[in-house]
Amino acid sequence: EIVMTQSPATLSVAPGERATLSCRASQSVSSNLAWYQQKPGQPPRLLVYGASTRATGIPARFSGSGSGTEFTLTITSLQSEDFAVYYCQQYNNWPPWTFGQGTKLEIK
């Protein structure tokens, strides 16, 4: 099973600033890495897949990068609606499909 580790657990950033979230895989997942956003009381929403491709309707301020075992989600010019929990997920080696433990992005 591939273990996904996200850092930091909580990230405090001011609106308008940039947020950088990290995700590490215990072994290579190639580019088969997705990022999801989850707000309280809502289901996860796909933001990025293939490590760097934005899903339909996702604003350009969200960008993903990386391959192999190291990945980054960058959110530029943070908006109020961006404060949420973010999960990475590998879908390269399955089953199981595995998620990171999440990074909570909070307002500074």
Partner 1 sequence: QEQLVESGGGVVQPGMSLRLSCAASGFTFSTHGMHWVRQSPGKGLEWVATISYDGKHKYYGDAVEGRFTISRDNSENRVSVQMNSLTTKDTAVYYCARKMEAYHCIGGSCPFDLWGQGALVTVSS
**Residues binding partner 1 (CB under 8 A):** 30-32, 34, 36, 42-46, 49-50, 55, 87, 89, 91-92, 94-102
81: phi > 0 → left, psi -120 to 50 → alpha, else beta; which?
alpha
- Minimum distance, C-beta of residue 92 to partner 1, in the bound complex (Å): 6
**Cβ atoms within 10 Å, residue 20:** 12
Nearer to partner 1, 30 or 76 (CB): 30
CB closer to partner 1 out of 18 and 34: 34
User: Please, which residue, 34 or 78, has the CB nearer to partner 1?
Assistant: 34
CA 56 to chain centre: 16
Closest contact distance (angstroms) between CB of 98 and partner 1 is 7
Shortest Å, Cβ 4 to partner 1:
10
Least spacing, CB of residue 96 vs partner 1, in Å:
5
35/83 with CB nearer partner 1: 35
Quote the CA–CA distance of 7 and 72 in Å, as a whole number. 10
